[in-house]
Amino acid sequence: MKLDDQEQAMLAGEHGPACQWAIQHQLQVGRMFDAADMVSVSQAHMMADPESLGDAGVAFVEGLAGDGGQVAIPMITDPRGVDLSYYLPLGQTEDMAELERRFVAACRAMGIMMTDTCINYQTIMPPLYGDHVAYGDTGVVIYSNSVCGARSNFEGGPSALAAGLTGRTPRYGLHLDEHRRATQRFIVDDRPRDLMEWGILGATIGRMAGSYWEVPVIEGIEGAPTSDEIKHFGAAMASWGSTPLFHIVGVTPECRDLADVEAQHLTARRVSAADLNDLGAPFGAAGEAVDVVVFAAPQLSLVEMAQLAALCEGRRRASSTDMIVCTPVQVYGDAKQLGYIDSIEGFGGTVLTGTCFYQQYAREIAEANGWTRLLSNSAKIVNILGGYGYRPALASMEDCVASAEAGTVIDRRQA
């Protein structure tokens, strides 16, 4: 790979051992993907919850901090694994909390901003069209690439950290024009009606596309979705298909028409009602007892918090059913001021900040609380949690709240 003078100085150790490790790591990644050189990035976003890091990973980050590592660009973080204000009631242990504290201290020593959110594009500083960034969380990457028109690959935790330390990332994949062209074309018949249906549509297209290197272009969406609708759409697509980029004709910024993404000659595939039902049907559980209702993956925006609070107002959950809500700390303050937190907690819900349900030792908290049947409006989270021993089910936000109140799954799709 071609390195400029500053990158050569990093490699020679002139910027310290942490920066030297970072550029060495990036060279290995770049060579694997045949990158010709590095590209400067304006932001980095690291996914590194303590459950995935473990003690060895935390010790490694502490070592970089001890070597004097300092980030060169604004660097932010994905949801954490422990809400330190509410971990014992959730069934997490002191050991989990201590690992979290050590990691947070090491990150802060390196100048990393502990934002702890997977919706930074809605809460902190959305990247601009053409902006090169180094982001980790799949939902963050697909939204930033597709909706903002920024450029990022899925950066693993070490790669995102390396980008923060050097201010660069290897120039391959979605940093290059040729990998941003559409490769598969889909036609949608009906516009989804709520966040759950947007997630099912995204998951269906992601599963049909089936590869990180495929770029779907979608026709038939009349009118621009809201930020939350396209957030659920993209997060589900990335979860089910490993997809980092999509285009919607007339909606996303790189695709005013099919010719913009060189898709006019691609054979179109229709996304039918049967395709959507095929994805959603296994997650039906109408009439069954529900242990926990979860709103997370992605974290809730202020608008979603308002919608949920309105549904909770004047109602009370069943004693047999818990309700967990995950939102960023940036949203929590506004939601508290506006009375949304009081309404959700008055219903009997628990609002966690800076975490996401599946990243906070999901298996251990299930065992601690006796949770098996889980209900959510997120197509992403039901795709993930089966692997943690849950029996996940899908319903709209309205039906999720009604189910928490009744103690059994209410799903009007199955009525």
Could you read off the pLDDT of 299-321 as tens digits, one per residue? 999 999 999 999 999 999 999 99
pLDDT at 415: 63
Structure tokens belonging to residue 389:
């021993």
Q: Describe the strand order of the beta sheet including 44-46 as a list of residue ranges.
A: 75-77, 44-46, 134-135
247-248/216-219 β-pairing: parallel
For the chain, give the number of residues: 415
Question: Where do runs of H (alpha helix) occur along 110-226?
Answer: 120-123, 138-143, 157-166, 195-209
pLDDT at 348: 98
Element (H, E) at 108: helix 94-109
pLDDT band at 129, cuts 50/70/90? very high
Burial of 289 (0-12, 13-18, 19+ CB in 10 A): middle
- pTM of the complete model: 0.97
CB 321 within 8 A of CB 404: yes
- Which residues make beta-bridge pairs with 270? 187
Neighbours of 226 (CB within 10 A): 12
Structure tokens belonging to residue 315:
């109602």
Angle between the 302-312 and 397-406 helix axes, to the nearest 10 degrees?
40
Neighbours of 259 (CB within 10 A): 10
Could you read off the pLDDT of 86-126 as tens digits, one per residue? 999 999 999 999 999 999 999 999 999 999 999 999 999 99
